[in-house]
Copies of this chain bind each other. A is one copy, B any other.
Amino acid sequence: MAIDRKQLIIEAATKSFSLFGFKATTMDQVAKIANVGKGTIYTFFKNKEELFDEIISSLISEMKKAADEAMDSSLSFHEKVHRGLYQILEFRLKHQLTIKLFQEEKEMGTPAVMEVMIKLEDAILGYLKEKIVAAIEKGEIQECNPEVTAFIMLKLYVALIFDWEKRNEPLEKEEIAKLFEQYIFKGLSNR
């Protein structure tokens, strides 16, 4: 069988997006890295954005897989959410592509990138929401609005992992888990 040109293109584009970002990646460059004529790219993808989208979709799948693997059905809901969310946010910190895109979103506000970041956040929120709905059904947690709860959990994590670090010493993974438990799962009150 001949070489899988589509796969070559995806790999080349992923490499280039990770290295230079979306805007600074040219289709000529992708074609060259993939050892493929530029026209060939357009037989598989309608345009640059669609190529980008396909790459992001696999990224989202990878994230879900990583989160699922970090969970263990024997764990409490609280531990599950903590490990899953932490895994997803670690992903952001470790994978070149997500780092580059995060930076490009902030610094240049490239529209295609902004769009894709919203998609990414939606995927995380949807994933979380599923877990929350299941936990309510199983009676593991109180009745609550799953949408708002997913939103609060994600924001709290992002704040603790990314925002806190901007002005303070980073928090340890265990500290974050403890804070998460203390606030979301126990509450501060004395009564």
Contacts and interface: CB of A to CB of B under 8 A. Distances in A.
Interface of A: 78, 118, 139-142, 144, 147-149, 151-152, 155-156, 159-160, 163-164, 167-168, 171, 179, 182-190
Contacts of A182: 144
A155 B179 CA distance: 14
A63 to B, nearest CB: 20
Chain A contact residues: over half helix, strand or loop, or mixed?
helix
9 contacts: A141-B188, A144-B182, A144-B188, A147-B168, A148-B164, A152-B183, A183-B184, A186-B187, A186-B189
Contact of A185 (B139, B167, B188): B188
Q: Which of A140, A147, A152 has the most CB of B within 10 A?
A: A152
A116 to B, nearest CB: 15
A78 B186 CA distance: 15
Contacts of A78: 189
Closest 3 CB pairs of A and B: A187-B187, A155-B159, A186-B187
